[in-house]
Structure 1
Amino acid sequence: MKLILREDVEKLGDSGDIVEVRAGYGRNYLIPQGKAMMATDGALKQLDRIKEQAERRAELTIEAAQEMAERLETTSVTIPVSVGEDERIHGSVTNQDVAEALEQRDVTIDKRKISLDQDIKTLGEYTATVNLIGEIKPQIKVWVVKE
């Protein structure tokens, strides 16, 4: 019996795979559980269309991420902080502060995607890395200055 898997099934295959299984296993377990559907001509055509649409969407997101990376590479942010003795910052600069500074420049990035290379506890120039998609990880300059 030929089936198209709707979700990943351990020791059988991944979602979208066409698999050959025994009739009882397919009819009594996989199909009633919603884990697979019959591999008819119509279902195979539908699967091809879904895969093509997914590939197009993935290409669009990668292109958008590359454009965003180019924009971020040329961006630097300045974060004013209050300082105490010896030019030490009260507290530290976090990825949240960098995200807010980017938002003031009309660039919206989730703070969880921003990683600082080191703890920022003094004034100066630092580098932050933004994890967009896969290997696309632009770096931005972060200037920490006195208020």
Structure 2
Amino acid sequence: MKLILTHEVSGLGTPGDVVEVKDGYGRNFLLPRNLATPWSKGGEKQIETIRKARRAREIATVEQAQQVKQSLESKPVVLNARAGQGGRLFGAVTPSDIAEAVTAGGGPSVDKRKVELPQAIRTTGQHTVLVRLHADVSAKVTVEVVSA
């Protein structure tokens, strides 16, 4: 199945890429989550629009990405969440929660799609999260979850 990616998919490609995937993966995962659209001749026109939008959102140079990385790694991000006894959270911390906490803490604005959680954060304490800033640069951000 030939698809045009509309969002970044780890291990597959970036928005605007035309990829060939197995039918089940495309039909059951990529299309229902709006991560891709079916490829067509008319869809080729969409690719340039997607790439323009991506260039506007992205950090342009590696030097800028390095500066953002230093500012993100310099201090931990504090996130308040409701927790029960033993530090177990009611629910989980999501990538959008982390992106909002970075911005609220005085850091640079981070796209929630660039935040990668190795596993769901469901306890209080310190956790390490990966933020992809550029194709060559990613920052390891310390997220400190405290009980509210």
Which bin holds the TM-score, normalised by the shorter protein?
Answer: 0.5 to 0.7
Q: Which amino acid aligns with 2:77?
A: V
Contact kept in structure 1, 2:62 and 2:136, CA below 8 Å: no
Distance 2:86 2:69 in 1: 36
Q: Which amino acid aligns with 2:124?
A: L
1:135 Cα shift? 2.2
Q: Which amino acid aligns with 2:82?
A: S
1:86 Cα shift? 3.1
Q: Percent identity?
A: 35
Give the equivalent residue in structure 2 for 1:116: 117
TM-score when scaled to structure 2? Answer: 0.56
Aligned-residue Cα RMSD (Å) equals 1.3
Q: Which amino acid aligns with 1:124?
A: G
Q: Does 1:89 align with 2:95?
A: no
Give the equivalent residue in structure 2 for 1:19: none
1:105 Cα shift? 2.3
Distance 1:87 1:105 in 2: 23
Instruction: Give secondary structure in 1 for the equivalent of 2:98.
Output: helix
1:117 Cα shift? 2.3
1:122 Cα shift? 0.9
Runs of 4+ aligned residues of structure 1 deviating over 3 Å after TM superposition are none
Give the equivalent residue in structure 1 for 2:105: 105
Instruction: Give secondary structure in 2 for the equivalent of 1:138.
Output: strand
Distance 1:97 1:115 in 2: 12
Q: Does 1:78 align with 2:78?
A: yes
Instruction: Give secondary structure in 2 for the equivalent of 1:118.
Output: coil
Q: Does 1:133 align with 2:138?
A: no
Q: Which amino acid aligns with 1:74?
A: S
TM-score when scaled to structure 1? Answer: 0.56
1:67 Cα shift? 1.1
Per-residue CA deviations over 1:15-37 (Å, capped at 9, x if unaligned) read xxxxxxxxxxxxxxxxxxxxxxx
